[in-house]
């Protein structure tokens, strides 16, 4: 007999039992379910809603069930449908009528809403820590490469010289924003819905603030309909995970390009690459490619959650059982990818000589040559035209700007002097860019210190 079976005259079809059972994936909520039940039972006893001795017995046996689950001596049943009913069934089997009093003033609707908030709250902390570890890893790389010159790109075309530190710090900024989003998401989900009941609260004199306090929540939800039907926090976390994956995917795309023979900027450690079954020379950046591919998977989880919730009337609907697999998968995937990526990037070897040579090609110092003329008094648009003609001349004659003679320079502008060669050296191009957020080594070091100070507070 189902715990809710009093109104029914026949058993559910076996196919229906299997179809609606969620124990295959919501079993992972067992700790949160038990902790929530202990808090609920404690409050029921304190409020005199159930006898204090029953409340104490319930709490004691729930602790025993928790230990048994973690020891692997409990087998969950699909017939009991979900983790909530499985634990309540175990409790009632062990302590009899006292166990039947646990569900007083509570519905599975507010129970599952509580459990998933508590579970995802913990996962937010885990994701935040993985992001922090990744940022620290990237800072270590940046600190070693403040003078490593490389080409910066727009449209995947060489544009201006930057440093590897500056490039790395761009991703540091992205992941720092991700950390902020995860913290904000956790803050919004950290309200207890327990006491919302099925949808309209309860006539029992529950102390919702007490259970919230016992469970470490910042407060309680303020509307019982919203308390049981809200899954914004799942969608928000899936969105945050999607943004994290997007940042990882962008980085992986660059690492994949950089590890190609055409770039030769980086070599991934053998531990994070694979070979070919037919081509013996191949070393494939599979870890980076898999992270890039799994990004679409997390996007799919977000889309599934948005689609799930888009037309549900208030309050709880069985459709919402489908929220867990999507958010569990998004969280599992992003955690796995963050851990793998940090290990992959920390063990990679950067070919700094190839990066430096790459910056020398593609006329990345053309803007600095134009700025040289501007500082000599020529309007920028005229200077831009002069450099455009110089680049065209270089292309036609297979030269770089540094290889032009002074005579060739003066053919296009009498303002050029011998100091042009120093002005367009790669080092000068980097060092002269020292405004806030630019790639000069001193500025990169300032940003690194600022980020480390921020991390020390979080």
- 315 cis-preceded (ω within 30 degrees of 0): yes
Beta strand residue intervals within 204-279, DSSP E: 219-220, 266-267
Tokens at 74, concatenated: 């409990």
Cα 226 to Cα 184, 192, 239: the distances in Å are: 20, 12, 20
pLDDT, tens digit, for every residue of 298-334?
999 999 999 999 999 999 999 999 999 999 999 999 9
State the pLDDT confidence band at 7, using cuts at 50, 70 and 90.
Answer: low
pLDDT(354) > 70: yes
pLDDT(2) > 70: no
Q: Which long-range contacts (CB under 8 A, 24 or more apart) does 211-214 make?
A: 211/36, 211/39, 211/40, 211/42, 211/43, 214/38, 214/39, 214/42, 214/43
Give the Cα separation of 321 and 408 in Å (integer).
Answer: 74
How does 182-220 read in b/e, with b if 16+ C-beta sit within 10 Å?
beebbeebbbbbbbbbebebbeeebbbebbbbbbebeeb
Q: Mind listing the domains of the chain with CATH numbers?
A: 17-104 (1.10.275.10), 116-152+162-189+222-356 (1.20.200.10), 358-457 (1.10.40.30)
pLDDT at 16: 67
Cα 353 to Cα 19, 200, 332, 344, 350: the distances in Å are: 60, 68, 38, 21, 9
Whole-model pTM: value is: 0.94
Say which residue the tokens 């500025």 belong to: 443
**Of the listed 11, 128, 239, 276, which one is catalytic?**
276
Tokens at 365, concatenated: 């110092």
pLDDT(50) > 70: yes
pLDDT at 188: 97
pLDDT average, residue stretch 367-372: 96
Average pLDDT, the chain: 95
pLDDT, tens digit, for every residue of 248-302?
999 999 999 999 999 999 999 999 999 989 998 999 999 999 999 999 999 999 9
**Of the listed 22, 40, 84, 155, which one is catalytic?**
155
Q: What angle do CA 311, 315, 319 make, to 5 degrees?
A: 55
pLDDT, tens digit, for every residue of 60-93?
999 999 999 999 999 999 888 899 999 999 999 9
103 is catalytic: no
How does 344-376 read in b/e, with b if 16+ C-beta sit within 10 Å?
bbeebebbbeebbebbbebbbbbbbbbbbbeee
pLDDT(3) > 80: no
State the pLDDT confidence band at 458, using cuts at 50, 70 and 90.
Answer: confident
Give the Cα separation of 288 and 348 in Å (integer).
Answer: 12
Q: For residues 274 and 284, is the Cβ–Cβ distance under 8 A?
A: yes
CA 23 to chain centre: 27
pLDDT, tens digit, for every residue of 226-249?
999 999 999 999 999 999 999 999
pLDDT, tens digit, for every residue of 329-343?
999 999 999 999 999
Cα 222 to Cα 60, 108, 228, 237, 314: the distances in Å are: 31, 18, 11, 21, 15
Q: Measured between alpha carbons, how far apart are the two ends of the chain, in Å?
A: 50
Which segment of 22-26, 49-53, 250-254, 289-293 scores lowest on mean pLDDT? 22-26
Percent of the residues in the chain that have a pLDDT greater than 70, as a whole number: 96
pLDDT(17) > 80: no
Residue of 378, 447, 441, 443 whose CA lies nearest to 414? 378
pLDDT at 48: 98
pLDDT at 403: 95
Sign of CA dihedral 435, 439, 441, 447: positive
pLDDT, tens digit, for every residue of 121-131?
999 999 999 99
Burial category of 10 from C-beta neighbours within 10 Å (exposed 0-12, middle 13-18, buried 19 and up)? exposed
pLDDT at 400: 95
pLDDT(11) > 80: no
Sign of CA dihedral 287, 292, 293, 295: positive
Residue of 120, 121, 231, 252 whose CA lies nearest to 174? 252
Give the Cα separation of 450 and 380 in Å (integer).
Answer: 34
pLDDT average, residue stretch 190-194: 98
Say which residue the tokens 């299997």 belong to: 18
192 is catalytic: no
Give the Cα separation of 219 and 237 in Å (integer).
Answer: 20
Cα 117 to Cα 100, 126, 201, 232, 324: the distances in Å are: 25, 14, 18, 11, 11
């Amino acid at each position: 007999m189902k715990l809710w079976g009093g109104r029914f005259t026949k058993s559910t079809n076996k196919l229906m039992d299997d179809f609606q059972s969620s124990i295959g994936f919501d079993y992972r909520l067992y700790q949160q379910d038990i902790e929530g039940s202990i808090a609920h039972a404690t409050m029921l006893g304190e409020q005199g809603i159930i006898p204090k001795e029953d409340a104490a017995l319930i709490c004691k046996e729930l602790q025993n069930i928790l230990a048994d689950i973690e020891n692997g001596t409990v087998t969950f049943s699909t017939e009991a449908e979900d983790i909530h009913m499985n634990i309540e069934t175990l409790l009632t089997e062990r302590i009899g009528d006292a166990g039947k009093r646990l569900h007083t003033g509570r519905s599975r609707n507010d129970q599952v809403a509580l459990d998933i908030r508590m579970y995802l709250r913990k996962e937010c902390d885990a994701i935040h820590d993985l992001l922090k570890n990744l940022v620290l890893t990237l800072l270590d790389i940046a600190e070693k490469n403040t003078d490593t010159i490389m080409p910066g790109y727009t449209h995947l075309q060489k544009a201006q010289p930057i440093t590897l530190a500056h490039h790395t710090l761009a991703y540091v900024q992205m992941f720092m924003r991700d950390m902020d989003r995860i913290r904000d998401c956790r803050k919004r989900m950290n309200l207890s819905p327990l006491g919302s009941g099925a949808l309209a609260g309860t006539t029992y004199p529950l102390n919702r603030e007490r259970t919230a306090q016992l469970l470490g929540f910042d407060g309680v939800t303020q509307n019982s309909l919203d308390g049981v039907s809200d899954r914004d926090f799942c969608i928000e976390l899936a969105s945050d995970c999607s943004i994290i994956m997007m940042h990882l995917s962008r980085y992986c795309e660059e690492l994949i390009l950089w590890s190609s023979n055409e770039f030769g900027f980086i070599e991934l450690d053998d531990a994070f690459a694979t070979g070919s079954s037919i081509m013996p020379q191949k070393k494939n950046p599979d870890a980076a490619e898999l992270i890039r591919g799994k990004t679409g998977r997390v996007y799919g989880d977000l889309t599934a959650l948005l689609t799930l919730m888009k037309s549900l009337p208030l309050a709880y609907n069985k459709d919402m059982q489908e929220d867990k697999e999507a958010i569990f998968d998004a969280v599992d995937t992003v955690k796995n990818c963050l851990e793998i990526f940090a290990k992959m990037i920390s063990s990679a070897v950067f070919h700094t000589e190839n990066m430096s040579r790459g910056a020398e090609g593609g006329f990345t110092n053309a803007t600095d040559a134009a700025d040289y003329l501007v500082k000599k008094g020529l309007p920028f648009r005229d200077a831009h035209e002069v450099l455009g003609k110089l680049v065209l001349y270089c292309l036609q004659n297979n030269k770089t700007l540094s290889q032009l003679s002074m005579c060739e320079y003066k053919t296009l502008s009498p303002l050029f002097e011998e100091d042009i060669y120093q002005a367009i050296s790669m080092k000068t191009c980097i060092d002269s860019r020292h405004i806030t957020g630019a790639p000069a080594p001193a500025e990169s070091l300032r940003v690194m210190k600022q980020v480390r100070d921020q991390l020390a507070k979080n």
